[in-house]
Chains A and B, each alone.
Chain A
Amino acid sequence: MLQLDIELQVGDFRLDVILEAGRELISLFGYSGSGKTLTLEAIAGLRKPDRGHISIDGDTVFDSAKKIDVPAHRRGIGYLIQDGALFPHLTAAQNVGYGLGRASRSDRDARVLELLDLLDLAGLGDRYPATLSGGQKQRVALARALAPKPRTLLLDEPFAALDASIRETLGSELLKLREELDLTVLFVTHQLSEAFSLGERIAVFDGGAILQADSNQTIYRSPKSRRVALLTGAANVLDGVVEESSEKELKVRTRDFAVLTNPYPFSKGDRVHVCIRPESVLLIRKDRRPSRNSRENNVSGIIVNRKARGSLYTLQFQVDGSGEGSDPTILQIDLPARVYGVMRVGEHREWAVSLRRDSLHVIRAEQPCV
């Protein structure tokens, strides 16, 4: 259990973060420079906040009002960064045992073996970091961080420097470890897919603050603001005005077309944003009658750009009659490569889309803030 509410000024950058985490893995997601690392450093005791409060499992480790500031080496937190920071002059086993200073020699050796085993490093104990692969180094670093049995683990882009396949393996191992050892894990990443695949909850960082911290389903389906929607991959955000609002549905007029959405507590005239994720836009052929589930909110247009991205195609769909060519409305569509082939998307230019009600998320337009 971790609670923090801190403020910290570094040069021009201002960090102001409130966060609570239970025994769970929570992803701290955001661009680099959004304050994720600074937050971890403050929790670990490597950087002192200007103001605020941090408690770990009920113990206050920092409180500016009460002048409490427990130094890093007495906070009992596991901390792991991107390059692992293995001690180059110590073997893998010595690295893992480094934090076990107070244990007896035999206890220490047993614990080191146990951890090397746990992280699939058996037999590598005598190797120096320079002779280990990137994945092995991060395993050693993780074993080292876990050795003193911390209840809180802070991971700062721990897998960023690794190959995709190794990253995935280590990710699922981490989830297993978290559950087995019942840890609170804060996982910093700037990769959306990693944030979603590992985090039971996601805290979205931007400009030194957390914009939203929710379960990943909530972040995915109902981002709280336009900024969160854009940051978490809802690339299509349209400005609109509520035309009708009833208990059954909401009608929103955007610049080029009107859409019907599920009901939201807005009233006529409210300014809103309508969000739809690129993978939720349904592409339909114009020469066929739309099937029942693609009849909602049909919009026609042309595909102006297509980009192959491995298993996905990303299409730019320009809404007919929008913007007179100068500022057209473009919807981004992500389509599985298989569907792209079956539908022969490459052979036609003119298409229609269906923006299904269940895929549309409506949020109140913020006051313009600069």
Chain B
Amino acid sequence: MSNGLSILKPFGERFQTAGPWIPAAFLLAFLVIPILALVLRGAGGEAIRTALASPVVREALALSLVTSLATVFLAVSFGMPLAYLLSRRDFQGKALVESMVDLPLVLPPVVAGVALLVAFGRTGLAGQLLDVMGVRIGFNTAAVVMAQTFVATPFFVRSARAGFTSVSRHLEDASKTLGVSPFGTFLRITLPLSAPSLLAGMAMAWARALGEFGATIMFAGNLAGKTRTLPLAILTSMEEDLDAALTVSLLLLAVSFGVLVAFHLVGSRGGADAAARY
């Protein structure tokens, strides 16, 4: 072609190789710097020890553990059957059910909190009925679990559904023709083979529950010992004890990082299993 273009070409090529690195590096720096800052500011040995010794932090930690584990338990007990139905059966309104399950993923958590409040709060839609029956939800620990479950369960359902779908129907059929009941087949074939996805889903749901803030503060409030989970404790202590806030933040960061690592480990093992299958 023309001479002008041949001069431009080396630059074009160089730009194509180097080009993507520049914005990518900016983004990486933007992601890493805050984490680094948090670690550097918070990671004084003495500060951590005092913060962990403070009853405020301990209370919040215990509450967070109890509520988030309860949330995972609920997500698994109710999410697994739903995930199985979504992966194996066709029924009317399936698309609608799917979007209802996915909705909390994109809904701002604060909105979720408001929605829960007008549904289950004392004057809410279902709350009035519950109130008559003597059950009061809202601004107590049960409300924390509900807020977390609302927000975190879809993570488990999505992952579990993908896991069930990855188990070939032929394997379940083979199991049934060998005399094993559908439930036995689920326990002995479907469950072990989708375990990596189930565990990954549990890890994600747990991490999401642990970090839940918006829905919790709207629906459950910020009551020490009752509804003040770790993220709420950060907000509270920001005003008086920055060290404690930093320590709690570090704690949550470590947990998130741990979940991520575990997720990758399980995920790659699951991948290897799937590859080894045939």
Interface residues of A (CB under 8 A from B): 41, 44-46, 71-79, 81, 83, 85, 87-89, 98-99, 101, 128-130, 141, 144-145, 147-148
A85's contact among B173, B180, B188, B276, by CB below 8 Å, is which?
B173
Whether A79 touches B179, Cβ cut-off 8 Å, given contacts A89-B192, A89-B193, is no
Interface residue range, chain B: 20 to 34
A72 closest partner in B (C-beta): B176
Q: Are B170 and A88 in contact (CB under 8 A)?
A: no
Are B178 and A148 touching (Cβ within 8 A)? yes
A148 to B179, CA, bound (A): 8
For B189, what are the chain A residues with a Cβ–Cβ distance below 8 Å?
Answer: 87
Bound-state Cα–Cα, A95 to B209, Å: 39
On whether A98 and B180 interact (CB within 8 A), knowing A83-B278, A87-B171, A130-B277, the answer reads yes
A144: nearest chain-B partner, CB-CB:
B178
Report whether B277 and A76 are in contact in the complex, using a CB–CB cutoff of 8 Å: no
**A73's contact among B176, B192, B276, by CB below 8 Å, is which?**
B176
Query: How far, in Å, is A11 (CB) from chain B's closest CB?
Result: 12
B182 interface residue per 8 A CB criterion = yes
Q: Is B175 in contact with chain A by the CB < 8 A criterion?
A: yes
CB-CB under 8 A for A81 and B170, given A88-B193, A88-B273, A130-B276: yes
A59 to chain B, nearest CB (A): 15
User: How long is the Cα–Cα vector from A129 to B171 in the complex, in angstroms?
Assistant: 13
Interface residues of B (CB under 8 A from A): 168, 170-171, 173-182, 184-185, 188-189, 192-193, 273, 276-278
User: Closest 7 A-B residue pairs measured CB to CB?
Assistant: A99-B178, A130-B276, A79-B177, A72-B176, A85-B174, A85-B170, A88-B277
Q: Of the candidates B173, B188, B278, which one forms a contact with A72 in the assembled complex, judged by CB atoms under 8 Å apart?
A: B173
Q: Are A98 and B176 in contact, with the CB atoms below 8 A? A: no
Tell me, rounded to whole Å, the shortest Cβ–Cβ distance linking A305 to chain B: 40
Selected A-B contacts with CB under 8 Å, 20 pairs: A45-B176, A46-B176, A72-B176, A74-B179, A79-B174, A79-B177, A85-B170, A85-B173, A85-B174, A87-B174, A87-B189, A87-B193, A88-B193, A88-B278, A101-B179, A128-B276, A130-B276, A130-B277, A145-B177, A147-B178
Q: Give Cα A87 to B245, complex, Å.
A: 50
Nearest residue (CB) in A for B176 is A72
Which residue from chain B places its CB closest to the CB of A41 in the assembled complex? B173
- Complex CA distance for A266 and B170, rounded to whole angstroms: 50
CB neighbours of A71 from chain B (8 A)? 176, 181-182
Most buried by A among B176, B189, B273: B176
| Chain A residues with CB under 8 A of B175 | 87, 98
A44 with B177: CB separation less than 8 A: yes
Residues of B contacting A141 with CB < 8 Å?
174
Cα separation A129 to B168 with both chains bound (whole Å): 15
Q: Could you say which residues of chain B place their CB within 8 Å of the CB of A147?
A: 178
Q: Give Cα A130 to B142, complex, Å.
A: 47
Bound-state CA distance A83–B173 (Å) is 13
Which residues of the partner chain B approach A144 to less than 8 Å between Cβ atoms? 174, 178
Residues on A with C-beta less than 8 A from B182 are 71, 73
Q: How far is the CA of A98 from the CA of B178 in the complex (A)?
A: 7
A72-B173, A73-B177, A79-B174 given; 9 more Cβ-contact pairs under 8 Å: A45-B177, A81-B174, A85-B170, A98-B188, A130-B277, A130-B278, A144-B178, A145-B178, A148-B178
* B177 & A72 in contact (Cβ 8 Å cutoff): yes
Chain A residues with CB under 8 A of B174: 79, 81, 85, 87, 141, 144
Q: Please measure, in the bound complex, the distance between the C-alpha atom of A72 and the C-alpha atom of B174, giving whole angstroms.
A: 10
How far apart are the CA atoms of A79 and B177 in the complex, in Å?
A: 6
Tell me the bound Cα distance from A71 to B176 in angstroms.
9
Alpha-carbon gap, A353 to B173, bound state (A) = 53
| A83 and B170 in contact, given A89-B193, A129-B277 (Cβ under 8 angstroms) | yes
Contact check, B193 vs A101: say whether CB atoms are below 8 A apart: no
CA distance A148 to B170 in the complex (A): 19
- Collect the chain B residues with CB atoms within 8 Å of residue A128's CB: 276
Distance in angstroms from B175 CB to nearest chain A CB is 7
Greatest chain A CB density within 10 A among B177, B188, B189 is at: B177
Interface centre among B171, B178, B185, B192 (most CB of A within 10 A): B178
Provide the bound-state CA to CA distance between A73 and B185, in Å. Answer: 10
| Complex interface: chain A residues within 8 A of B176 (CB) | 45-46, 71-73
How far, in Å, is A87 (CB) from chain B's closest CB? Answer: 6
Q: Which residue of A lies closest to B273 (CB)?
A: A88
Contact, CB under 8 Å: A78 / B277: no
A47 (CB) vs chain B CBs: closest residue: B173
Chain A residues, Cβ within 8 Å of B177? 44-46, 72-73, 75, 77-79, 145
- How many Å from the CB of B127 to the closest CB on chain A? 44
CB distance from A336 to the nearest CB of B (A): 39
